[in-house]
Structure 1
Amino acid sequence: MSKISALLKASHFGPTVLVTTIAFFFARHYWWEGPACVIAFGVFVGQLIVGWSNDLYDYQDDLSHQRMKKPLVAQKISFDELRRWTLWMIPFAFIANLLGPLGITGGLVYMLGIACGVSYNFYFKFTALSPLPYAVAFAALPSCIAISKEIMPPLWMWLGGAIFGVAAHFINVLKDMKKDQQSGIRGLPQRLGSIGSIIAAGVLITAGVMLLFYSR
């Protein structure tokens, strides 16, 4: 049980559950509860890959900052164990999404979002283009569900997803802003600083709400 708890915590469980819940409600709008649960499960296992790969890549940095809430740092699970779980979960996530209700096209769109999340962990978070993977991934999440029903995702869906995704990026880094800057992580939020990131998030959220309001 402790290993399962460590795996869930290493997945960044809060954001993982949030994204999975959003996916479920979108899926229930287009499908019914049964397929919606299957879609949500596929989304969940995809999010595990993003969270686990983040903790694997950040292990040395987390260790240097003594982030004891991280299971790897707290030695609740070993580096090799988490890496094995991640490598096993990648093909499983493809199977769960491409062979489920999302279908091949919808499943590939969702897995594109997962690839963006992983690319952020390994590359984009060090660059001024750090919002890009968030924009693509959050646009892909609702869009893949619409595509699964052979519906062209409307503008408000993918653009709204992208806007809120970038806003989430600016908000998400605030808690570790100073430590990230010390570690040489130079994503766009770190370049703007805490105040700049808060302003950017506020502007984006306002823009996203206005887009949704005027698109209805």
Structure 2
Amino acid sequence: MRETGTQQVEASVRLPDRRVPGAVAGLVRACHPEPTAVVTALVTALAAASGLGPARCLLVAGAVLTGQLSVGWCNDRVDHGRDVAAGRTDKPLVDGVLRPHVLSRAAGTALALCVPLSLAVGPLAGLAHLTGVGAAWAYNLGLKRTVLSWLPYAVGFGLLPAFVALGLPGRPWPPGWAVLGGALLGVGAHLTNVLPDIEADLAAGVRGLPQRLGGGPTRVLAALVLGAAAVVLSVGPPGPPGAAGWAALGITGLMAPLTVLPVPGRARSRVPFLATLVLAATAAAALLTRGVGLGPGPGSG
């Protein structure tokens, strides 16, 4: 007798336990390691460039890391049934490396750690960061299925500069270009991240903004949004962009086709999303090379 989708999900839950090393590897895979590592590294580097001391930079790194881990693990846990139905054997919950309750506990533990780490940077800074993390959880828990699917990304990434700046002496609000640039990067990341899954999402009833637009328009919109982010982060800070700023814009121009053109023979290619991470790292590197931070000083705005 053929199993229903629900029975298949239940069968995956009853898989035998695996060895601990396999579970650890599964947790690493389930946390969406590339964006988790890139976001944590970039925000920590921005904190150091803005004048936060080593101890506070470690707090920033810990808060961002645990926040990103909680969001990634929550995402895979919430999407478990849909991933099973779509045959996503690249997911550790689907291939049996992890059990759902393990991932649920990991997400809850990471979120619980994120709260005190965020607040230790400063009350207002912690509130800004936790608001962004909360927006990401709201995306996982339902907003991803609505036309406002882009909003949690804009809020979450736009508030990362605020997290750093509000942890500085005097608790200054970050310059507008930093908030806008972060928000644009977040929206672009959302668009390119969803691209490979649009057809499967529509079949599962997920109708966020990219799914409603379709693959072609989403690629064009992603390129426009990411291009705007690169321009804002290059020309927004005070003073001329300099060689680093123009180099970042040049690299962005070279990366743009990777976010627009589909990869032949690879409908589920992650190249557009990985290109987005490279673009974000390039923009951040240009800022750091120019000595631009978020604190008081000639390069801070």
**Aligned counterpart, 1:6:** 26
**Aligned counterpart, 1:155:** 176
Instruction: State the Cα deviation string for residues 168-198 of structure 1 (Å, max 9, x = none).
Output: 1111111111111111110000111111111
Report the Cα distance in structure 1 between the residues aligned to 2:103 and 2:48, rounded to whole angstroms: 32
Q: Give the superposition deviation at 1:34.
A: 4.1
Question: SS of the counterpart of 1:148?
Answer: coil
Q: Give the superposition deviation at 1:90.
A: 2.1
Q: Give the superposition deviation at 1:33.
A: 4.0
What's the Cα RMSD here?
1.3
From 117, 127, 131, give the equivalent of 2:146.
127
Report the Cα distance in structure 2 between the residues aligned to 1:2 and 1:32, rounded to whole angstroms: 37
Please tell me whether residue 180 in structure 1 is matched to residue 201 in structure 2: yes
Q: Give the superposition deviation at 1:20.
A: 0.6
From 205, 209, 220, give the equivalent of 1:199.
220
* Stretch deviating more after TM superposition (1-10 or 129-138): 1-10
Q: What's the TM-score, normalizing by structure 1?
A: 0.94
From 161, 167, 176, give the equivalent of 2:188.
167
Alignment-mate amino acid for residue 112 of structure 1: T
Report the Cα distance in structure 2 between the residues aligned to 1:43 and 1:72, rounded to whole angstroms: 24
Q: Which has the larger radius of gyration?
A: 2
**Aligned counterpart, 1:111:** 130
Q: Give the superposition deviation at 1:70.
A: 0.8
**Aligned counterpart, 2:43:** 23
* Stretch deviating more after TM superposition (83-92 or 152-161): 83-92
Question: SS of the counterpart of 2:214?
Answer: helix
Alignment-mate amino acid for residue 174 of structure 1: L
Which runs of 4 or more aligned residues in structure 1 lie more than 6 Å from their structure 2 counterparts after TM superposition? none
Report the Cα distance in structure 2 between the residues aligned to 1:70 and 1:132, rounded to whole angstroms: 26
> How do 1:76-95 and structure 2 match up within 5 A?
76-95=97-116
Please tell me whether residue 138 in structure 1 is matched to residue 138 in structure 2: no
**Aligned counterpart, 2:285:** none
Q: Give the superposition deviation at 1:35.
A: 2.7
Q: Give the superposition deviation at 1:130.
A: 0.6
Alignment-mate amino acid for residue 109 of structure 1: A
Instruction: State the Cα deviation string for residues 134-192 of structure 1 (Å, max 9, x = none).
Output: 00000011211011111211100111111111011111111111111111110000111
Q: What's the TM-score, normalizing by structure 2?
A: 0.69
Question: What is the number of residues matched between the two proteins?
Answer: 214
